[in-house]
Structure 1
Amino acid sequence: MAERPPYEIARETLKQLSTRRLAPTPENYLAIYDEIAGVRSATPFPEAQLSHILRLIPGQTPAQKRLLGQFEKAIANKDWSGLQSVLVGYANLGLSPAAASPVELPPTAPAATLPEDLAELLARLIDNTLPALGEDDQRVHGMAAQLTTFLREPTPLISTLMLMLGNFTYRLSFATEDQAAIRTSLLELLHMVFENIAVLSADDRWLQGQAEALMTASTPPLTLRRLDDVQLRLKDVIFKQTEAKARSMEAQEQMKDLLATFIERLAQITASSTTYQGTMERCADLIGKASSLQEIAPVLEEAMSATRSMALDTKLTHTELLDLRERTEAKRAEVAKLQQELDRASAQARHDPLTGSLNRKGLDEAMEREIARSRRMGAPLCFALLDIDNFKLINDRLGHSVGDAALVHLAQVTREVMRPQDLLARYGGEEFVLLLPDTTVDAGVAAMTRLQRELTTRFFLQGSEKILITFSAGVAQLHDSETSFDAIKRADQSMYLAKRSGKNRVMAA
């Protein structure tokens, strides 16, 4: 087949640009031209990019200035060999004379370029790093923009990339140090504020829950799981405390009204007594001055009437006072109950009050969060359901208080042995659920077996008696379309299988 004339290839290239709706850039034109001609054109010399790099390279010492002059001359002459010699010379600055001896490079050696996939990965890495640095250091953002632009150009040279990347990482180290110092100082400042709130609110117990949760949130190290848990707990605490506080204030206002009524009744009794005393004194004076029975009779009638009225008032007032006392006692008991509810809301929102582990509400929220994370990231998630062996015997033989202490011991050992991201929840009675993120079923069984071994080395002490606590457990890995209820149900079935197999075992679902 005869070769096509260049003008036909050029005409066909323009037609293909229009048909494919591509921008008429030199790169697109050259790519289609080579495709039609069946040849590969030589890579154009990146004069503009190299000139941009030239402006970034330091040129302070005489040696640096000399090399920059050679760099500029090599760009003008489009001399790859000259560029390589300049870069090698620049890399050897500060080395010993022996190490800095000229390196003979083949003048025809092709310049190494970065693979397109690797260049794009590096560009994404830089793009994802910048949001964590803030906006204070504009220079590092400018250098990052230049670097990502260079990485997304066709066939970026490795030698040029190394120079630009070296300058960027050097500047990046200062920016990351600044951000770390800012974060540490901010956490210290927040912790001081929260501690001061706790001190100032010593008399207001309803503030203690918020202050403790905030101090927990500002204590390093921070994780998104930990912050999410504290945020949800704090929201629930604030809601419950606001509700209980309003009810408590209402009860206190009602008590004030009762006390005001009580004082008013006492004042009325005093006034009635004063009036009655005056009447009796006046009647006694009239009797002393009377000279006949006819004069005494009306005075006695008035005294008897005043006495009957006083007796009636006293009886009514006594009844009212008894009623006020009963109502006051009821309100006092209500205020005390509300204060207890307020204290419980401050201390426990999503946690079991005995063991400190998550309660059912906290477990539901944690499962929803971890399942969403697992499916978003494609990571495995395991549910482990454990039940203490022979727990009823411990309660029957040693009492329920010892049984409660055994539950606390199990929860404490579990938190010490398992990973920080593993979440423990009390499922009911002596049953617990463990959420194990990023864990396959085999790894989950191994983790629960390790917990069993630790429990055998950490005896639960009751006085001088050592009590060995064991458990049976089932482990289920969440399936793609499975709900948390289904996964726990499978783990529960495996746990009962472990019980029937001799207890103190771990079974995979």
Structure 2
Amino acid sequence: MDSAKPPSAQSPSDIARETLKLLAARRLPPSPENYQALYEEVAGIRSAPLFPATQLRQIMRVIPCQTPGQQRQLKLLEKAIEQQDWPMLQNVFVGYANLGLSPAAAPQATSISITHLPPILAQNLARLVENTLPALSEDDARVHEQAKQLSLFLREPNPPVPLTEQMLGNYSYRLSFAAEDQAAIRQGLLGLLRLIFENISALSMDEPWLHGQAEALLAASTPPLTLRRLDDVQQRLRDVIFKQSEAKERSAQAQTQMRELLATFIEGLAQMDESSSNYNEKMEDCAARIGQATQLQDIMPLLEEVIASTRAMALSSRMARAELQDLRERAEATHAEIEQLRRDLDHASTQARHDPLTGTLNRKGLDEAMEREIARARRQDTPLCVALLDVDNFKSINDRLGHDAGDEALKHLVQVTREVMRPQDQLARHGGEEFVLILPDTALAEGVKAMERLQRELTKRYFLQEQERVLITFSAGVAQVEGDNGYADAIRRADQGMYLAKRSGKNRVLAA
């Protein structure tokens, strides 16, 4: 056999064959590690051990890196792993050991002579630790206990720096795991909520009014989440639920009325059938008696009885026909009302606080959004601006391309605005081709720059209509909400600025 040859006499192909035979004989998985080990065994050679880069990177994730010295050593460790440099790796571990034995070995430590934390720094750290707890679950009792101990320690007079460093390191290490758990839980809950909302939409084929709510909830649960978005959707859903419950109640009443009409109609048909049966029996009886009569005077009373029964039947039929005609008209009116209620119900979700054409806030939505933003700005003492913009030459777009093209141009403006502006900025249709932008946490000069940036983006993104590129521009005025004047005064001043921008040549933004 080839395996009996001395190692120097074996060719690489012979060694490879023997290696594959040994893999099969020993029933080992054909992994690169197993193949290399058996190859070296057959060839009688021993290669250098593999550099444990994966294991060392796992160690990197858990070793402390709070102090400048530890951070410097961590960078050296990362470099040693990348270069697979054993001597450098040895020096790094020795450096870590020296940090623990001789803190003065770090150059930065020689210049620090503080042995106790300053009182203000200690209080700020204590508040920072306490503020992290509301975001954590109550399940991890250990991290809450560490936070409580650390907070009490930091609020003591003159907490020593070494012990503070150790306690902060232990707490941050534990906190990192808790934060990862919370992030995973939040993502999992959002995933479950989206599945529920999607199922609501899929299972409501016969209830179109549910689609508006499902779409709003899907939008609200799409990251990144903001409190403003959640507040807006919450207000919208409350209004929609109220309108839908009202419309459903009216629809249920109309359906009940329809059922009553149908019951009356069926009862009338039954009475007509009974009257017709009685009339037929009467006619048959009279016919039999006429057939048995032998004299004319015997026939005359029977004829009078037939005539009287026929007149009664005709009168009953006319009355029944009139009642049925009335029932039919009432049923048709009720059916039309039900259909109208159904159409109203279908549109209730999109007509609450949003403009049905562009999807932006309508006047009611704008009023409520401004009230919330003004209250937030006063509470947090932050600036708040509003911008009123009007599309330039919009009438000529409608006249030249048609009203449908004008609607699409407004949608294009809204889409570009949403992509360019910040998530917290809110857009509302003020009327026609006028829009209002709410700019929270924005001073007047910053608001003007933001609107100018939007103008520049619009010049880059043409509106296409039947292969024709149409440049959409706007003129705008920007005003900052001041004091207790409210947003009506700011809108008025922004409108004046927009008017001046139009008079100045259009496609301009002016501060008001």
Return the TM-score normalized by structure 1.
Answer: 0.78
What's the CA shift string for 1:350-391, capped at 9, x where partnerless? 111000001111111111111111111121111000011122
Whether contact under 8 Å (2:251, 2:338) holds in the other structure is: yes
Q: Per the alignment, in what secondary structure is the counterpart of residue 207 of structure 1?
A: helix
Query: d(CA) in 2 for partners of 1:246 and 1:112?
Result: 73
The Cα of 1:98 is off from its aligned counterpart by 7.1
Q: Per the alignment, in what secondary structure is the counterpart of residue 347 of structure 1?
A: coil
Match of 2:318 in 1: 315
Whether contact under 8 Å (2:361, 2:429) holds in the other structure is: yes
The question of 1:354 aligning with 2:357 is answered yes
Match of 1:146 in 2: 149
Query: d(CA) in 2 for partners of 1:465 and 1:103?
Result: 72
Query: d(CA) in 2 for partners of 1:412 and 1:175?
Result: 39
Query: d(CA) in 2 for partners of 1:136 and 1:199?
Result: 35
What's the CA shift string for 1:321-363, capped at 9, x where partnerless? 1111111111111101111111111233211100000111111
Whether contact under 8 Å (1:385, 1:434) holds in the other structure is: yes
Which of 345, 359, 380 is the aligned partner of 1:377?
A: 380
In structure 2, relative to structure 1, the CA distance for the partners of 1:141 and 1:295 (3 Å cut) is same
Which amino acid in structure 1 is aligned with residue 406 of structure 2?
G
What's the CA shift string for 1:286-330, capped at 9, x where partnerless? 222211110110110011011111111111111111111111111
Query: d(CA) in 1 for partners of 2:257 and 2:344?
Result: 19
Which of 247, 267, 272 is the aligned partner of 2:250?
A: 247
What's the CA shift string for 1:55-99, capped at 9, x where partnerless? xxxxxxxxxxxxxxxxxxxxxxxxxxxxxxxxxxxxx98636777
Match of 1:196 in 2: 199
Match of 1:95 in 2: 95
Match of 2:125 in 1: 122
The Cα of 1:187 is off from its aligned counterpart by 1.3
Match of 2:179 in 1: 176
Identity over aligned residues, as a percent? Answer: 64
Whether contact under 8 Å (2:390, 2:474) holds in the other structure is: yes
In structure 2, relative to structure 1, the CA distance for the partners of 1:102 and 1:169 (3 Å cut) is closer
Which amino acid in structure 1 is aligned with residue 371 of structure 2?
E
Match of 2:232 in 1: 229
Which of 415, 430, 435 is the aligned partner of 2:433?
A: 430
In structure 2, relative to structure 1, the CA distance for the partners of 1:394 and 1:99 (3 Å cut) is closer
The Cα of 1:168 is off from its aligned counterpart by 0.8
The Cα of 1:104 is off from its aligned counterpart by 7.0
Query: d(CA) in 1 for partners of 2:371 and 2:157?
Result: 45
Match of 1:82 in 2: none
What's the CA shift string for 1:222-251, capped at 9, x where partnerless? 111111111111111111111000000000
Whether contact under 8 Å (2:425, 2:440) holds in the other structure is: yes
The question of 1:465 aligning with 2:468 is answered yes
Whether contact under 8 Å (1:93, 1:100) holds in the other structure is: no
Q: Per the alignment, in what secondary structure is the counterpart of residue 95 of structure 1?
A: helix
Query: d(CA) in 1 for partners of 2:318 and 2:351?
Result: 50
Q: Per the alignment, in what secondary structure is the counterpart of residue 385 of structure 2?
A: strand
The question of 1:405 aligning with 2:417 is answered no
Which of 389, 392, 417 is the aligned partner of 2:392?
A: 389
The Cα of 1:101 is off from its aligned counterpart by 7.4
The Cα of 1:165 is off from its aligned counterpart by 0.7
**Once superposed, what is the RMSD of the aligned Cα atoms?**
2.2
Unaligned runs of 5+ in 1: 1-91
Aligned length: 417
The Cα of 1:213 is off from its aligned counterpart by 2.5
Which of 92, 104, 112 is the aligned partner of 2:115?
A: 112
The Cα of 1:465 is off from its aligned counterpart by 2.5
In structure 2, relative to structure 1, the CA distance for the partners of 1:338 and 1:121 (3 Å cut) is same
Query: d(CA) in 2 for partners of 1:392 and 1:194?
Result: 41
The question of 1:338 aligning with 2:376 is answered no
Structure 1 segment 442-481 matched on structure 2, within 5 A: 442-481=445-484
The question of 1:262 aligning with 2:280 is answered no
Query: d(CA) in 2 for partners of 1:137 and 1:452?
Result: 51
In structure 2, relative to structure 1, the CA distance for the partners of 1:365 and 1:104 (3 Å cut) is closer
Which amino acid in structure 2 is aligned with residue 95 of structure 1?
G
Whether contact under 8 Å (2:209, 2:347) holds in the other structure is: no
Which of 442, 445, 448 is the aligned partner of 1:439?
A: 442
The Cα of 1:180 is off from its aligned counterpart by 1.0
The Cα of 1:171 is off from its aligned counterpart by 0.8
The question of 1:209 aligning with 2:212 is answered yes
In structure 2, relative to structure 1, the CA distance for the partners of 1:444 and 1:239 (3 Å cut) is same
Q: Per the alignment, in what secondary structure is the counterpart of residue 507 of structure 1?
A: strand
What's the CA shift string for 1:139-180, capped at 9, x where partnerless? 111211221222122222222211111111011111111111
The Cα of 1:103 is off from its aligned counterpart by 6.8
Structure 1 segment 15-26 matched on structure 2, within 5 A: none
Match of 2:52 in 1: none
Q: Per the alignment, in what secondary structure is the counterpart of residue 222 of structure 1?
A: coil
Which amino acid in structure 2 is aligned with residue 410 of structure 1?
L
The question of 1:296 aligning with 2:299 is answered yes
